[in-house]
Structure 1
Amino acid sequence: MAQKRTNAIPIQVEPMGRHDLLVAYPLMRLKTPSMTPGDWMRTARILTRENENPTQGGLLARYEGARAPCGLAIYRRETKRGGKTRLIVNSIIVATCGASWPVVHAIAAESVRVAARLGCVETEYHIAAQDMAMAFEFHAAGIADEIVVLQKNHKPMEQPFS
């Protein structure tokens, strides 16, 4: 039987450090075009603050040997009622010429390790409506047990259900 041949370049995912702030900025601009370099630096310094009990941070994905990242995830740890903690991955941003799923999968795998390190009992991924295919990939790959998408953005003074 012939083996499946793959030319995939390995993807490495590591915590975002202070030395990564400038190279991560273009990825954040993909999600938030209005974000200025100053806004990003203030936000990123908080995300990369080193302390004994981190509650938020970032993960950067890179193709092996590359300096520039191809993926960025922003997360925070939150304690639910009853004292259970969960890791919430607010943003996953990918910029690659190839398929984005391998980058997302690598970020998701590392986020599970981060959750375990932080004592979280679950991980929650926030995925934009235009990325619903990604949500189904998460479910199909066993990364997410369920998919829940309920959100309504209201305009000022909008009357619900009118």
Structure 2
Amino acid sequence: MVRRLEPADVPLLYPLIRISFPHITLQEWVRIGRRLARSGPRAREGMLVARYGPARPPCGMATFRRGFDLCSGDTLTSDYIIALSYTHEQQIMNALLPAMETLARELGCDAIRTFSYNKPTINRDSAVRKLCSSGHITERTVHLDHNKEIDRGL
């Protein structure tokens, strides 16, 4: 189950944020989380949260921002995609990526851009895998065909 970050989700997501970004304090996260939880027609950034079910804690997240690219036009970019579980990493990604496509279409984007590792890093204090970070970054942009599903040929 994937949905946009809501204000009630902000404190529930902090354990995942803390494991992935140890430099972010709870107070900082609450400030950031509130900003990312804003919705409405002018919201250009936010976060998608993945859960195994409605009463379950978050198991993954993806940040997003809407911007413009000279080559791709209006683009939904996800800088950070984080999965809590190694064993269910692909299942979490399989839920987040279609939700990103739906969101991109709702926001009128022409493409989705994600960043990922060639060699994922692991926080030494945790088993959480960061799928995006500063090392070994690979950027992938997928153009949307507004009449069909994602055009996977690009």
The corresponding residue for 2:95 is 106
Q: Percent identity?
A: 26
The corresponding residue for 1:118 is 107
Distance between the aligned counterparts of 2:109 and 2:17, measured in 1? 26
**Deviation (angstroms), 1:23:** 0.9
1:77 correspondence with 2:66: yes
Superposed CA offset, 1:48-102 (max 9, x none):
1123221001111111244201111110000123892000011111112623111
Distance between the aligned counterparts of 2:153 and 2:92, measured in 1? 20
Higher share in strand: 2
Moved over 3 A (4+): 142-146
Superposed CA offset, 1:120-158 (max 9, x none):
0000011134339x77xxx9xx88656xxxxxxxxxxxx
Q: Which moved more, 1:63-72 or 1:79-88?
A: 79-88
Q: Name stretches of at least 5 consecutive residues in structure 2 with no aligned partner.
A: 122-130, 132-137, 143-149
Q: Name stretches of at least 5 consecutive residues in structure 1 with no aligned partner.
A: 1-11, 147-162
Question: Per the alignment, do residues 95 and 118 of structure 1 end up closer, same or farther by CA in structure 2, a change over 3 Å counting?
Answer: same
Question: Per the alignment, do residues 13 and 82 of structure 1 end up closer, same or farther by CA in structure 2, a change over 3 Å counting?
Answer: same
Match 1:35 to one of 8, 17, 24: 24
Q: TM-score, normalised by structure 1?
A: 0.70
- The structure having more radius of gyration, on CA atoms, is 1
Question: What is the RMSD computed on CA atoms of the aligned residues?
Answer: 2.6
SS at match of 1:70: strand
Q: TM-score, normalised by structure 2?
A: 0.73
Give the paired residue count: 129
